Amino acid sequence: MKKEIQAITDMEVDFTQWYTDIVKKADLADYSTVKGCVILRPYGYAIWELIKAELDRRFKDTGHENVYMPMFIPESLLQKEKDHVEGFAPEVAWVTHGGATRLTEKLCVRPTSETLFCEHYASIIQSYRDLPKLYNQWCSVVRWEKTTRPFLRTTEFLWQEGHTAHATREEATEETIRMLNVYIDVCKNALSIPVISGQKTEKEKFAGAVDTYTIESLMKNGYALQSGTSHYFGDGFAKAFDITFTDENNKLQYVHQTSWGMSTRIIGALIMVHGDNSGLVLPPAVAPIQVVVVPIASHKEGVAEKAAELANRLKSVARVKIDDSDKKPGWKFSEYEMKGVPIRLEIGPRDIEENTVVLARRDNGEKITVPMDALEAKVTELLEDISKNLYESAQKNLAEKTYTARDLDEYAEIAASKNGFIKAMWCGDEACEISLKEKFATTSRCMPFCGEKIGDTCVCCKKPAQKLVYWGKAY
């Protein structure tokens, strides 16, 4: 069948333009007159709402509460934690005037909210009975980026940021890993995205953190994307902000803190992990429309009515839309392929006569004929299978684009000819990490938890190796 929508570049021709075409043509976002900022269109925002719901449910299941902090941070407050402010200084947007009046102290538009949470915790935590504090915030943040791209890197973006306070290091580190596992669970079971999880190097960790843990996903073009992070802060922020509590022995102690976040850049991952040359491909859990009903020859008697009846039936098992517009069926097929709708239901006069419908899968293009009496059960089955198939396809891409380098020559050859993760041993010296970045444009993505070992010497300097690292080109 000839496609009615042609304005999308093949990913093999120009992956960057393919991505931009999908963002625009699938009605996910549009460019704003504010440099570096985008408008999230209803369809794109609906995807974020569904991701948000998946995350929020898990946060609340693990005892977290949602709060909201101010958008503005006084400069003096930001300056309290030296490493933190130095890490964010190049990206901070400052407010210097209120109307025509110059402010006595300039305010930054939050790039993240650690300092605000710390100030609040210092005022509400007095005793061990007040702990733990398990807070999360849904908001937007501003980071003045030099180069922007919709979802992947914008000046303002939406996210959640969890901030927790605990009595002991053990409790805080347990929280850090627990929330990283929440992200892994959402990626696998809601987004059908496999990830590599592990710890960031000292060079790549979050400003002000003791340890940063990450999940890294791999796009179809072999580029990595940091998809969620979880940080253990130790008591550094607590000492800077004097967040103390009296323990069971009536001794004064500093709290141990964590922070963790996932943002709208995960929508960029959805596009690049699952999309194809017909457009977006959405996992059912976060598809605003899970089934689109397309009447064929709707002008003929009974077709429109039967389509509406079937759509109404399916509402008990799926998010359903009926497209009874006067557009040609071929145009509708292409439009909903572009939008990544998991299942298309076709119903026409012949189907009505035979008491069947045609179901078309977006993930693999398969079309099957299904008895109307079995419709709800079949749709439920297909949605589950689509989610599983998308995950397996993404896992295959991850496996095929993960390479092993045991010396610098192998590393150089892989970096020059292939995109993907490169597994290689590292001595732990930042000089080697910087060298690999400068020579091959690859960065350390994470030191995986698996503890795998593929050699005894550093891939860069041949000194004794300490850690296996996943390296790669990244967004």
What class is the 287-398 domain? alpha beta
Place of tokens 């333009």: 17
For the chain, give every residue range classified as CATH 3.30.930.10: 15-274
| Confidence at 1, pLDDT banded by 50, 70, 90 | very low
Residue 181 pLDDT more than 60? yes
pLDDT at position 272 over 80:
yes
Mean pLDDT of the chain: 95
15-274 belongs to CATH 3.40.50.300:
no
Q: What is the DSSP letter of 245?
A: E
For 200-232, write each residue's pLDDT tens digit.
Answer: 999 999 988 999 999 999 999 999 999 999 999
Which range, of 1-15, 110-124, 406-420, 453-467, averages the lowest pLDDT? 1-15
How far is the C-alpha of 389 from the C-alpha of 381, rounded, in Å?
Answer: 12
Q: Which residues contact 163 (CB under 8 A, 6 or more apart)?
A: 113, 114, 117, 135, 136, 137, 257, 258, 259
Pairing of strands 367-371, 402-404: unpaired
> What is the per-residue DSSP string for 356-407?
EEEEEETTT--EEEEEGGGHHHHHHHHHHHHHHHHHHHHHHHHHHTEEE-SS
How many other C-beta atoms can be found within 10 angstroms of the C-beta atom of residue 65? 10
> What residues contact residue 94 under an 8 Å CB cut-off, 6+ apart?
75, 106, 107, 108, 109
Portions of the chain given CATH number 3.30.110.30: 402-472
Partners of 73 in the β-ladder: 108
**pLDDT > 60? residue 5:** no
Q: Which CATH number fits domain 402-472: 3.30.365.10, 3.40.50.720, 3.30.110.30, 3.20.20.70?
A: 3.30.110.30
Tens-place pLDDT, residues 371-421: 999 999 999 999 999 999 999 999 999 999 999 999 999 999 999 999 999
Helix axes 169-189, 42-61, angle to 10 degrees: 140
Which residue's structure tokens are 């398969």? 366
The answer to whether residues 230 and 213 touch, using CB atoms and an 8 Å cutoff, is yes
SS3 69: coil
CA distance 428 to 464: 9
pLDDT tens string 183-201: 999 999 999 999 999 999 9
E strands present in 113-199: 133-142, 156-166, 196-199
The whole-number pLDDT of residue 155 equals 95
At residue 437, what is the residue type?
A: K
Side by side, which strands form the sheet with 196-199? 65-67, 133-142, 156-166, 256-263, 224-234, 211-218, 196-199, 443-448, 467-472, 421-426, 402-404
pLDDT surpassing 90 at residue 264: yes
CA–CA dist 154, 68 (Å, integer): 22
Q: Give residue 369's pLDDT band: very low, low, confident or very high (50, 70, 90).
A: very high
Distance between alpha carbon 455 and the CA centroid of its chain, in Å? 32
Q: What separation in angstroms does the CA of 290 have from each of 19, 34, 52, 312, 454?
A: 22, 33, 17, 13, 43
pLDDT at position 145 is: 84
Distance CA 401, CA 306 (A): 47
Name the segment(s) of the chain with CATH classification 3.40.50.800.
287-398
In degrees, rounded to 5, the angle at the alpha carbon of residue 91 between the alpha carbons of residues 87 and 94 is 115
Residues ≥6 apart with Cβ < 8 Å to 161: 112, 113, 136, 137, 139, 141, 259, 260, 261
